[in-house]
Copies of this chain bind each other. A is one copy, B any other.
């Protein structure tokens, strides 16, 4: 059984060194000693709020250069990848150098991709600075860029040398990004960690004080999944719970010119897919209501309407998880236990789950 620690915990899988919790940065000092040439990739917000925190904690890192990209998902492009490869070249990076990806999921996604393809493999370390990145995006080796309007169309599975997760960075995090990360924390609890579900409690996330323990636990959940199934051949798919409907909603809002956070979309997806779970894999209605109550405590309902459902269904049919036209769902068998590759979910049932969400219905 995993034990929550007050000091940062260090966890070595075969390939990745994880240091997680308050004080993780200081603890990581020795990781950097072997690199005589370090480069830092970040966006402008990270430079403003997080760079000093890093450099104050680890003044001895031999930083040779900084590479900056604009904040936001639109930076995950081939143009910015070219910018990063050019910068690494011009700054004189060699295969003995290290790239630090300091930032949210966009930075670790594109940074991991560019590092691992520079001179056939530059080492990199992720230092996530948002809740979402700390419990999710920085872990698991998925890297990539968006291409031709497809998310992560170009990229690869490649592990960082280390992931250093220090809650100190969250002090300057905006409300909406806390909320966004909270959706993934909630998802981890629901799919595999009943104990975490209890720790989170029936309260608003703004009332939580024990973030150190919660982040340690939630990050460890993700690590445990991905170390057994790096390339999403099986069990890793349970991480997609809430994301089949959620991705469609996220893309729908993005295309409407009124983007919402990933977590807002996933929260809505969790409600829909929890209800689908009750129809497909016998999740009890009592549990459905418990999940919905918690989500509603933390996320306002989105305002799409019945008229938008056909567009949402169309987006869903673009999903990567479609096999021979059949969308494979990851669903909840009970609170803390998900199952994956549930096919033959009728289109009508998916539609009904969106109506269930829109109309704020009760499970029955």
Complex: A320 Cα to B121 Cα, angstroms: 13
Q: Are A231 and B121 CB-contacts (below 8 A) given A78-B82, A85-B154, A153-B89?
A: yes
Query: Is A138 part of the contact surface with B, judged by Cβ < 8 Å?
Result: no
Chain B residues near A152 (CB-CB < 8 A)? 119-120
Stretch of A143-151, A175-183, A326-334 lying at the B interface: A143-151
Chain B residues near A82 (CB-CB < 8 A)? 78
Is the pair A157, B85 in contact by a Cβ cutoff of 8 Å?
no
Cross-chain contact of A320 among B113, B119, B156 (Cβ < 8 A): B119
User: What is the 8 Å Cβ interface bit string for chain A, positions 31-54, against chain B (1 contact, 0 not)?
Assistant: 000000000000000000000000
CB distance from A41 to the nearest CB of B (A): 16
Q: How big is the A interface, by class?
A: 20 to 34
Is the pair B119, A89 in contact by a Cβ cutoff of 8 Å?
no
Complex: A70 Cα to B320 Cα, angstroms: 32
Complex: A153 Cα to B89 Cα, angstroms: 8
Is the pair B148, A86 in contact by a Cβ cutoff of 8 Å?
yes
Which A residues fall within an 8 A CB radius of B? 78, 82, 85-86, 89, 113, 116-121, 142-144, 147-148, 150, 152-157, 231, 320
- 5 A/B residue pairs, CB under 8 Å, sorted by A: A89-B148, A89-B150, A117-B117, A120-B142, A121-B231
Report, nearest first, the 8 A-B pairs whose CB atoms are least far apart: A120-B155, A120-B156, A117-B154, A117-B156, A89-B148, A120-B157, A85-B154, A85-B147
